[in-house]
Amino acid sequence: MKRTGIVGAALAMACAAAPAEAVTVRDDAGNAVTLDKPAMRVISMAPHVTEALFAAGGGSRIVGAVNYSDYPEAAKQIPRIGSNREIDLERVISMKPDLIVAWMHNNSERQIEMVRQLGVPVFLSDPQTLEGIPENVERLGQLMGTEAVAHAAAAELRKQLASLRTRYAGRPTVRSFYQVWDKPLYTLSGKHIVTDALRLCGGENIFDKLTVTAPIVSIESVLQADPEAVFATAEKNYGGVNLWKPYTTMSATRNDNLFTVDGNLLNRAGPRMIAGTAILCEKLELARRHRSK
């Protein structure tokens, strides 16, 4: 064998024998998450996480997911491990994950600590801004070794965001109330990503200063704030914007600015939220047009 052939063969054998380089990324809580090799068995502990994993090119690697992980269509076939509030730890163990992607919220601290005790790396996904969504997709792609797909998806999301920012920059402010549920009356404060979406569109969350992320508010407090627009998600067995129709002196009711939006697009901090923000912007623009009536 020629010397060049021997050298080439030796290099090929060395590359084949060399272990994959470890990768370290920071999650949304600032924790360093390190994997010795790309994650092949991933568990998703939130619906928006499931969507982000698919966007990052890792849909086929999700071995378990929580309830309501229903997008894309293939996500409906993933075995369930429980809900956002309670997971089946024994089932999680049986799935032998090499990465768990969780969402930090009020009810999750105990179960996140439980999965940490398994010794499996945990990535906390909780984007606080719209820019954090493509960042999440890219970092998940790094952890799964699917960077090419993840970078392309993130680039497209950033392009859509930039277009929205350009289109709605400098638009007149519309004071808005975002209604998650009506019994009790839940809203979202400035700590939630929905407020960032409103802000991009020129909207102002009337409860952005509250310290709780998803606070309960009173009808009286909403009427006192007198929002110009009300947004409520569309769900079964839920009153939605109908709650406000009797209050004809409130600006949003008087100006016909009671809007129904898709909670799956706006309440989940996943890739589809960019499309949801575009719809939110359109509704706010409609509210501005109603001012001239």
**How confident is the model over 258-291, as pLDDT tens digits?**
999 999 999 999 999 999 999 999 999 999 999 9
> In which band, very low, low, confident or very high, does the pLDDT at 292 lie, cut at 50, 70 and 90?
low
Among 8-12, 53-57, 163-167, name the one with the lowest average pLDDT: 8-12
- Partnered with residue 44 across adjacent β-strands are 65, 101
Name the band, by pLDDT with cuts 50, 70 and 90, for residue 117.
confident
The C-alpha atoms of residue 107 and residue 90 are separated, in whole angstroms, by 19
- DSSP symbol at 54: H
Domain range list for the chain: 18-157, 171-290
Tokens coding 264: 């799956």
Of 20, 30, 18, nearest in space to 98 by CA: 20
What span, in angstroms and rounded, lies between the C-alpha atoms of 286 and 151? Answer: 34
Give me the pLDDT at residue 106, please: 57
Q: Which letter does DSSP use for residue 216 in this model?
A: B
pLDDT digits (tens, 9 = 90+) for 13-42: 434 444 568 999 999 999 999 999 999 999
CATH class (in words) of the domain with range 18-157: alpha beta
The span from the CA of 82 to the CA of 100, in Å, is 14
The span from the CA of 260 to the CA of 171, in Å, is: 21
Dig out the tokens for 133 from the structure.
């969504």
**Region 4-9: what's the mean pLDDT?**
44
| Three-state secondary structure call for residue 22 | coil
Tokens 């060049």 appear where?
4
Of 248, 246, 254, the C-alpha closest to 293 is 254
- 107 — pLDDT class (breaks 50, 70, 90): low
* Alpha-carbon span 216 to 262, nearest angstrom: 20
CB 277 within 8 A of CB 268: no
Assigned CATH for 171-290: 3.40.50.1980
User: The tokens of 155 are what?
Assistant: 């680039």
